[in-house]
Amino acid sequence: MADPWTVEAHRLFKKHGIKTVGYVPDAGLTDLINACDADNDIKAVVMTTEEEGIGLSSGAWLGGEKAAVLMQSSGVGNTVNAIASIVSSCQFPLFMIVPMRGQYGESNPWQIPMGQATAPVLRSLGVRVYEVDTEEDAVGAIENGLKMAFVSNAAVAVLIGQKLIGAKSFIADVAEEVTHV
């Protein structure tokens, strides 16, 4: 059986020379974040808001390095002006991996509106959006997205569907017993 997409993503980061990985965590990113954190050749940067990832990535490019940005789909809303004003105006490369919430089997209703808005918002900003629902498609989109971002100065977001990462069953994941009041 092939390695999970998170293992392949880390491998592809190395292959394509990604030196900085900025992230705001998501459950679906845990394995990839841990792999980057443990890698001495990658600067893993925990950020306070997703918008910082756009500055971080663009600043890295100014300094001659490639960065990737990881965030949950809700966080895409925090990146809008930075993508439009900085990435689009300057044609900075941008590569994002975005696990989805509110898209397929979501159990938190507050996640659904931004989940529905994620892809259209990114497209409206000129970001190339790859929506993937299988391991194979995820790996292919990450490989080709990395190429396109850094060779063609494109902004690319790979949206990892809940069909692939699973919908969080919410409180039952972290507590032995759930009480509803």
Partner 1 sequence: MSELKLERADVMAKLMAVRGDALIIAGLGSPVWDVASSDHKPENFYLWGGMGCAVSMGLGCALAQPDRKVWVVTGDGEALMGVGSFATVASQRPANLAIIVLDNEHYGETGMQRTSTSHGTDLAAMATGAGIPTALAITDMAGVDGLAAALTSGPMPLVAVVKIAASKPNLVLPPRDGVYLKNRFRQAVLGATDAMHAG
Interface residue list for partner 1 (CB under 8 A): 19-20, 22, 43, 45-49, 51-65, 67, 81-82, 84-86, 89-93, 150-153
Of 17 and 166, the one with the shorter C-beta distance to partner 1 is 17
Other C-beta atoms lying within 10 Å of the C-beta of residue 42: 19
Give DSSP secondary structure letters for 56-121: HHHHHHHTT-EEEEE--GGGGGGGHHHIIIIIIHHT--EEEEEE-SSSSS-S-GGGHHHHHHHHHH
Of 7 and 148, the one with the shorter C-beta distance to partner 1 is 148
Query: Angle of helix 135-151 relative to helix 5-15, nearest 10 degrees?
Result: 20
Least distance in angstroms from the C-beta of 30 to partner 1: 18
Least distance in angstroms from the C-beta of 91 to partner 1: 5
Q: Cβ-count burial of 64 within 10 angstroms (0-12 exposed, 13-18 middle, 19+ buried)?
A: exposed
CA distance 5 to 43: 20
Least distance in angstroms from the C-beta of 63 to partner 1: 3
Of 85 and 134, the one with the shorter C-beta distance to partner 1 is 85
CA distance 29 to 32: 5
Least distance in angstroms from the C-beta of 28 to partner 1: 22
Least distance in angstroms from the C-beta of 93 to partner 1: 7
Of 57 and 111, the one with the shorter C-beta distance to partner 1 is 57
CA distance 135 to 64: 31
Of 47 and 98, the one with the shorter C-beta distance to partner 1 is 47
